[in-house]
Structure 1
Amino acid sequence: MDAKARSGALAGRVGGRPAALVEAAFLLLVILVFARLHAMVGKDTVAATDNAATLQSVERVLHVDIALAANRWLTEHPAFIQPAVYYYRAYYAVILGVLLWTWIRHGDVYVKVRRVLVALTILVLPVYWAVPMSPPRFALPGVVDIVAAHDIFGAHTSQEIPSGQNLTAMPSMHVGWSLWCAYAVWYALRGSHPRLALLAWIFPLGMTAVVFTTGNHYVLDVAGSVVLFAAAIAAATAWDRLTERRHEARSEAQSTPHDA
C-alpha cells in the first residue's frame, strides 16, 4: 500500500467502511459517554435490593429461580472456576477482536453491525436508570461471588454492597454484548459459510452459563438482554433506512439539472 492509499484508509472511506481514525474517534466517544452515564445510574441501593427481591419472587413463580443452584454447582466443581472467571473477564477482548475483524475483512457489513452495537450500548442506559438491580452475589443469601473470590485482577470478595457500586444487573450486558459478537460474526459469514456462522452463537450461550454460575445475574436478566438486543437490531435497521433515504435524496438532488 502506497502513502496515498494509507492516507485514504486512515482519513477517508475505504471499501464501504469508515476511515480508521474517524471510526476509532467515534467509538471512543461512545465508550466515554457510556462510561460517564453508566457511572451515574444504579446508585439507589434500597431500590436495587427491592427490585432484586421482586425479581426473585417472579422467578420462583415461573420456576426459573436457578441462580443459587447454578452458583453452588460451580463452587462444587473447582476445576471450572478459573476458566469461568477468564471467560467472564475476557469478553472485552472478543468485542474488540470482532470489531477489528469485521472492519478489516468484512467492510460491507461493518457499518450495519457497528450500528447494532452502538444502539445496544445506548438503549441499555435508560433501563439501568429505571430499574436498578442488585445481582445475586449481593441480594441472594448463599451465593458466592466467584469472580471476586478468584479474580485475575485481584479484587476481593464480599457479600456487602461496596459504597458507590453500580447496581445494574438488569439486563446482563455481558450476555448482551456477547450476543452482539455472535450476531456480527453470523451476519458476516451467513452467506459464505452458513454452518461456521452458526457456531458463533456458542459464545453467548457460554456467557449465559458463566453469569449464572458466578452469581452475577438472574434468568430474567438474560431474558432482558435478549429483548434489548432485539430492540437494538430494530433501531439499527431504522438507522440504516434513514441513512439510505438521505443518500438517495442527496443523489437525486445532485443529478437534477439546475437552471442557469
Structure 2
Amino acid sequence: MGDTTVTTLDGREEAVRNPVADETGRTFLRRPRAPRRPRLWFEILLIAVSYWTYSLVRNAVPEQRTEALRNADWIWRLEHQLGTAFEESVNHAVNSVTWLVVGMNYYYATLHFVVTLGVLVWLYRSHPGRYAATRLVLFTTTGIALVGYYLYPLAPPRLMNGQDFIDTVLVHETWGSMASGDLKNMSNQYAAMPSMHIGWSVWCGLTLFALATVPWVRVLGMVYPVATLVVIVATANHFWLDAVGGVLCLAFGYGVARLWYGSLPYALPRLVPGREEREPGPIPLPKQG
C-alpha cells in the first residue's frame, strides 16, 4: 500500500515507493512550524478580530468588586512587608507636575496600542520570516492574561478604599484611561493583574532590541518598557507587582513559541521564500525520441 508500479525501458515492471504517502504525516506536522510569508489581508483581519475579542472578553469578565478590593489590600500589605510600596509616593510626586502627569495620561491611553501595532507592521515588512512566531508570542501572552483577569480580579491603586492614591485622569480632566471618567462603564474596572501595558511594552522592547540594526532604536526598545512601568505606577493604574504578572505572561508566550517553532522567534531566518520557491513543481518527463 502506498507503492506505485512503473514500467522500465526493458519492459519490466518495478514497484516504487510513494514518497507523498510516506511523508504525509511528517509534512503535516512540520508544515505549521515552518516560517511562511504572512498575507497582509489575513494579518489585518486577524489583528482586528483578536483585539476586538480581547476587549470583549476582558470587559465581559465579572468585575467582582469585593474580591478585587480585597486582593488589592493584600498586595498593598505584601509590598509594605517587602519594603517596596512606593506607588503612592510616585503617584503624588508626578501629580504635582501638571504637564508631566497629563502627558503620562495620554501615554497610558494610547502608546500601548500604537507602538505595539507599529512593531507588528515593522516585523511584517522587514522580518517576514520571524513575524508569525513573534506574533504568536504576543497573542499567547494576551490570551493567558485573560485567564488572569478571570481568576484574580484586582482593583487598581486609584480605586482602593482608605488610601490616598490620586486618579490623575479625573483630577486633570484629560481624555485617557478607559477605566476612568465617562468611559469607565465601558471597561472592566478590576482587570489590573496582569498588566498588559507591561506585557506588550516588554514584547516591543525585546523585539526592537533583538532585531533592529540602528543603535538608537535598540536603546528606545529598552527604554520603552521602563517608561511604561513608571507611567502605570504614576497614574495609579497598577501596582508594580502587576508588571511582574505581565512579564510572567510574556515568558509563557515565548515558551509556547519556542515549543512550536523549535527556537526563539528572533533566531528564525529573517526572510522566507515564496510559495513557488518552497514547493517544487512537477518533474518534467523525458522527451520521447
TM-score, length-normalised on structure 1?
0.78
Structure 1 position 163, deviation (Å): 9.2
Structure 1 pair 16/198, CA: closer, same or farther in 2 (3 Å)? farther
Q: Decide which structure has greater helix share.
A: 1
Aligned-residue offset at 1:194: 6.3
Displacement, 1:196? 4.3
Quick check: 2:155–2:190 contact (8 Å CA) kept in 1? yes
8 Å Cα contact 1:117-1:180 kept in structure 2: yes
Mind listing any 5+ residue stretches in structure 2 that lack a counterpart? 1-34, 264-278, 281-289
**C-alpha distance in 1 between matches for 2:127 and 2:223:** 21
Q: Map Cα deviations across residues 9-60 of structure 1 (whole Å, 9 max, x no partner).
A: xxxxxx9431100111222222232122112215100010000011111111
Match of 2:108 among 79, 88, 105: 88
CA distance in 1, matches of 2:66, 2:177: 28
Distance 1:154 1:41 in 2: 18
- 8 Å Cα contact 2:106/2:176 also seen in 1: no
Aligned with residue 222 of structure 2, among 182, 201, 204:
201
Indicate how the Cα distance of structure 1 residues 59 and 16 shifts in structure 2: closer, same or farther if over 3 A, else same. same
1:1-260 matches, within 5 Å, as: 16-91=36-111, 92-139=113-160, 141-150=163-172, 151-152=174-175, 165-189=188-212, 192-193=213-214, 196-241=217-262
Contact 1:174 1:207 (C-alpha < 8 Å) held by counterparts? yes
Q: Tell me the percent identity.
A: 26
RMSD, aligned CA: 2.7
Structure 1: state its 5+ residue gaps.
1-14, 243-249, 252-260
Q: Distance in 1 between matches of 2:138 and 2:165?
A: 31
Runs of 4+ in 1 over 3 A off after TM superposition: 153-158, 161-166, 192-196
- TM-score, structure 2 normalization: 0.71
How many Å separate the matches in 2 of 1:154 and 1:218? Answer: 16
**2:17 corresponds to which residue?**
none
1:167-226 Cα distance to aligned partner (Å, 9 max, x none): 01111111111111112222322xx45674243010010010001111111111111111
Partner SS state of residue 85, structure 2: coil
Contact 1:109–1:188 (Cα < 8 Å) also in 2: no
Larger radius of gyration: 2
Aligned to 1:247: none
C-alpha change, 1:155 and 1:25, in structure 2 (3 Å) is closer
